[in-house]
């Protein structure tokens, strides 16, 4: 069932587990991940960008999601501009991530608050980022700079009305150069201050134990892209697809992608957690009626 992302992250936060957010850029990734989620009885979040034909890709997610009973959300990842965020709303995402983490606090709040109003009026969720999660190939610098301040995070949530917040606690995007070190004391302080679902970006290569532990401490969504793409790429490299075996090429990609997603559920602790009932939700935010009060 296709649902606003808030449904999934709220349940995960209450249950002290995380839900993997995995690449949903093409049909192989989308179908294989949904099959994995059904098999594992796990909620699932897809990440997308407005690349190519977003109406088509986002429509695929909705169509396949509505064929199964488990909750599935689709989040526009790191949307950089106002226009891009609105396109995500228009093309059927059930969440947008408005990343203004490189702006000043005031400018981040101003832009995210405006977009939160738009997202909630459309019945979908919004994630933002405070502090800044950098790049793994620049980890020596990015891994320790711009970490999230707990009290500022609390204020940011109140100032913007976001549904969940991406925090910088020592992870980074892409493949790491150097060993990632997560600041669990900081995560604990952020969780105690915010008491709402937090998001970990740069989950790939951050260490299974680290991720699992973070998911018991307030992280309700873990973005994992590079690990899944790498597993798929390795399957392509490892197989012999010459001659008539070429017919096995796409099934090999599918199976590798599915296996990698299944592994993510184990790491974040979401296996078997799709037990809550969801039904089609028109607008859980009810912005029309709250405005009149």
Q: Using an 8 Å Cβ cutoff, are 230 and 259 in contact? A: no
Q: What is the smallest separation between the CB atom of 269 and Zn ion, expressed in angstroms?
A: 20
Is residue 263 close enough to count as binding Zn ion by CB under 5 A?
no
Selection from 4, 56, 70, 69 nearest residue 27 by Cα: 56
Q: In this complex, which beta carbon is closest to Zn ion, that of residue 15 or of residue 174?
A: 174
Query: Is there a catalytic annotation at residue 77?
Result: yes
Distance CA 77, CA 173 (A): 12
Selection from 132, 183, 129, 133 nearest residue 156 by Cα: 129
Q: Which x/- pattern, by CB under 5 A, does the window 192-231 give for Zn ion?
A: ---------x------------------------------
Q: Which residue is nearest to Zn ion (CB)?
A: 201
The active-site residue out of 10, 53, 66, 77 is 77
Q: In this complex, which beta carbon is closest to Zn ion, that of residue 122 or of residue 199?
A: 199
Q: In this complex, which beta carbon is closest to Zn ion, that of residue 201 or of residue 221?
A: 201
Using CA atoms, how far residue 30 sits from 83, 179, 284, in Å, is 25, 31, 25
Q: What is the smallest separation between the CB atom of 55 and Zn ion, expressed in angstroms?
A: 24
For the chain, give the longest Cα–Cα distance.
69
Distance CA 33, CA 26 (A): 11
Distance CA 184, CA 59 (A): 38
Q: What is the smallest separation between the CB atom of 225 and Zn ion, expressed in angstroms?
A: 8
Q: What is the smallest separation between the CB atom of 133 and Zn ion, expressed in angstroms?
A: 6
User: How many chain residues bind Zn ion (CB under 5 A)?
Assistant: 1
183 Cβ contact list (under 8 Å, min separation 6): 147, 169, 170
Binding site for Zn ion (CB under 5 A): 201
The residues assigned a catalytic role are 77
């Amino acid at each position: 069932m296709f649902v606003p992302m808030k449904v999934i992250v709220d349940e995960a936060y209450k249950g002290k587990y995380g839900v993997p957010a995995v690449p949903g850029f093409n049909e192989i990734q989308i179908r294989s991940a949904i099959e994995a989620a059904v098999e594992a009885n796990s909620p699932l979040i897809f990440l997308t960008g407005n690349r190519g034909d977003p109406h088509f890709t986002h429509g695929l997610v909705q169509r396949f999601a509505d064929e199964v009973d488990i909750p599935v959300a689709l989040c526009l990842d790191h949307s950089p501009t106002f226009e891009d965020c609105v396109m995500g709303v228009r093309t059927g995402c059930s969440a947008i991530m408005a990343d203004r983490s490189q702006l000043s606090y005031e400018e981040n709040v101003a832009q995210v608050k405006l977009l939160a109003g738009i997202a909630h009026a459309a019945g979908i969720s919004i994630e933002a980022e405070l502090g800044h999660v950098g790049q793994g190939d620049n980890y020596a610098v990015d891994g320790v700079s711009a970490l999230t301040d707990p009290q500022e995070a609390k204020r940011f949530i109140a100032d913007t009305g976001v549904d969940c917040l991406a925090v910088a606690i020592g992870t980074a995007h892409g493949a790491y150069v150097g060993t990632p070190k997560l600041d669990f004391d900081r995560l604990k302080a952020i969780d105690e201050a915010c008491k709402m679902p937090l998001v970990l970006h740069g989950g790939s290569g951050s260490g299974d134990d680290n991720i699992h532990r973070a998911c018991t401490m307030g992280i309700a969504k873990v973005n994992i892209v590079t690990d899944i793409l790498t597993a798929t790429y390795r399957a392509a490299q490892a197989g012999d697809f010459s001659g008539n075996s070429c017919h096995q090429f796409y099934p090999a990609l599918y199976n590798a992608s599915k296996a990698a997603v299944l592994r993510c559920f184990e790491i974040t602790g979401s296996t078997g957690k799709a037990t809550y009932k969801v039904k089609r939700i028109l607008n859980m935010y009810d912005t029309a009626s709250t405005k009149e009060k």
